[in-house]
Amino acid sequence: MTPKTNNWSEELQQQTRDAISEIRVSPYDGNLHFKNSGGCFAFMTIQDLLGGKLSLTDKENGQVFEFADLNELLNAGWAMD
C-alpha cells in the first residue's frame, strides 16, 4: 500500500519533477528509480516515461502503482532515488 504523505524536501520533489520531464534513466538498466517515504522502492521504465505514463513497479513484490499526474505521485510519498 502506498502511504498518502510526502516527507521529502521541496528540493528532492523538484529533482523528481525534473528527472521525469527530462527522462533521466539509469544507464545501467534504463529505469528511473524511486523511493517511498514508507520505505518501499520502485522503478519506472523508459517506455512508460516516453509514453507519458506514470507507473511505478515495486522492486520487492512487483506491485504496480499508477498515477494520474505527477502531483499524485509525489503526494503518495514517492521521489527519485
The confidence score (pLDDT) of residue 5 equals 57
Say how far residue 65 (Cα) sits from the centre of its chain. Answer: 9
Each residue of 11-31: b (16+ CB within 10 Å) or e?
ebbeebbebbeeeebeeeeeb
User: pLDDT digits over 3-40, tens only?
Assistant: 445 689 999 999 999 999 999 999 999 999 999 999 99
Length of the chain: 81
Alpha-carbon dihedral 9, 77, 81, 45, rounded to 10 degrees = -140
Q: How many CB atoms lie within 10 A of CB 78?
A: 29
